[in-house]
Amino acid sequence: MWSDIIIFAVIALFLGLKLRSVLGQQHDVDVDQAAPPPASLPSKPPLLRSVDSVDNDDEPTSVPQTAEPKPSPLAPAPDSLAGRIHRVQQADANFNEKKFIAGARGAFEMIVAAFAAGDTAQLRPLLTDDVYDNFATAIRNRQSNGQKLTTRIIKFTDIDLVDAEMVMNTARVTVRFVTEQMQSLTNTDGTPAEGSNSAPQEVIDLWVFSRNTRSLDPNWQLAETRSDD
């Protein structure tokens, strides 16, 4: 009996040592093969700072930017050209200086060509009553003398808006045209008329265009012509 107990005790001791040996080896494997701790995440980037923010390494802050109000444009001097144009723009919201100059050039070409051709029908809507009467009279005199006028605009050297004004409800805008033209006035037999000069020459004209700003008609008319000597 005692021999049996001793044998069982030896067997139990042997098994205990064996299990301890095995568990100890497994533990060592787990430690050696354990995944490394996760790398620390990068810290958040520092806040952007404005120029006026206070320097604080612990708690970086930024001063909110407020939009500065845009300065209102100054009104041009009333007695300046810009001021006179501004008054026309106040009366006629559709008035645009660049577009007006382009339209004035087109009107200049049409009127010069129609006057040379004696085409009063084309001239009528482009001119005020007084200017039309003067042009029509000159055309009739030329035709009664049997003369023919030929005009060719070679080029526009310069076009400038030089004045503007409001007379009651009527806007008046003056444009200065500098052109190079060839003009010839011939008699019925084709000979040059007295004083005619067909050589190219520089011609400087001041044309005043007008429009009633209360009218629904958007078209401007030639109200005055004069040379710029």
pLDDT at 192: 85
Specify the amino acid at residue 66. Answer: T
Ordered by where they begin, the domains of the chain are: 81-227 (3.10.450.240)
Q: Please, what sign has the CA dihedral across residues 92, 96, 101, 102?
A: negative
User: Does residue 136 have a pLDDT over 70?
Assistant: yes
Q: What confidence tier does 70 reach under pLDDT thresholds 50, 70, 90?
A: low
Residues 208, 172: contact at Cβ < 8 Å? Answer: yes
- What would you measure as the largest C-alpha separation in the chain, in angstroms? 167
Residues 171, 91: contact at Cβ < 8 Å? Answer: yes
Q: What does the buried/exposed string (b/e) look like for 196-226 if buried means 16 or more CB atoms within 10 Å of the residue's CB?
A: eeeeeeebebebbbbbebeeeeeebbbbeee
pTM as predicted: 0.66
Q: Output the six-digit token pair for 216.
A: 């629904």
Q: What is the spatial distance between Cα 201 and Cα 191, in angstroms, rounded to a whole number?
A: 20
Q: What is the spatial distance between Cα 137 and Cα 134, in angstroms, rounded to a whole number?
A: 5
| Strands ordered across the beta sheet of 148-167 | 148-167, 170-186, 201-212, 221-227
- Condensed to tens digits (0 to 9), the pLDDT of residues 152-181 reads 999 999 999 999 999 999 999 999 999 999
- Condensed to tens digits (0 to 9), the pLDDT of residues 7-58 reads 444 444 444 444 344 334 444 434 344 444 443 333 333 333 333 333 445 5
% pLDDT > 90, the chain: 58
Q: Give me the helices (H) in the chain, please.
A: 2-33, 81-91, 97-117, 120-123, 129-144
